[in-house]
Amino acid sequence: MTRRVLVPIDSSEQSTAALEHALDVHGDAEYVLVHVVDPNRWISTGDAEGDVYYSKELEETAKNAAKELLADAEAVVRERGAAAETETLYGPPARTIVDYIEAHDLDAVVMGSHGRTGIDRLLLGSVAEKVVRRSPVPVTIVH
C-alpha cells in the first residue's frame, strides 16, 4: 500500500492531470504537494548593456504564485477526502525534487510531463526524465 505520494505542482495542465491521476490510483494515501521555484528566475537583464540584477518583485511574484498553486492543489486533495501537506522548494527543479525525495519518507512520485521533443527537449531538458532517472522510488509520468 502506498502511504506517501509526492506530486510536484506547477501551473500546467499536465500537473493537474498528474494530481488527478495520483488521487485516482493511490486513493487515501497522504499527498505531499511541492512547487519548485528556481531563484535564477529572479535575476533579470533589463538594460541594453546586459547588466544582470536581482528583482525583489520577481521573487515576490514567484512566491505568491507558489502559495496559490499549492493552496488550490491542496483543496483538490482535501475535497477527495485525503490528507495533504504542501511545501515550496527552491532550486533547479529536477535536482531539487530528487533531493527532496531522497530526504523524505516517500513511496511514490506522480508528476506531469510537458512532452517536449526534439530540439526543445535538448535545449530545455526534461524535468520529468531527470527525476525518473535519479529517483530512488517509483515515478509515474502523466502526459
Q: What is the pLDDT of residue 19?
A: 98
Name all domains of the chain by residue range, CATH numbers in brackets: 4-142 (3.40.50.620)
pLDDT tens, residue by residue, 43-95 = 766 666 667 667 788 889 999 999 999 999 999 999 999 999 999 999 999 99
pLDDT tens, residue by residue, 85-142 = 999 999 999 999 999 999 999 999 999 987 555 555 444 458 998 999 999 999 999 9
Residue 143 to residue 120: CA distance in whole angstroms = 16
Neighbours of 10 (CB within 10 A): 19
Q: What is the pLDDT of residue 102?
A: 98
Q: What is the pLDDT of residue 45?
A: 64
Residue 34 to residue 97: CA distance in whole angstroms = 8
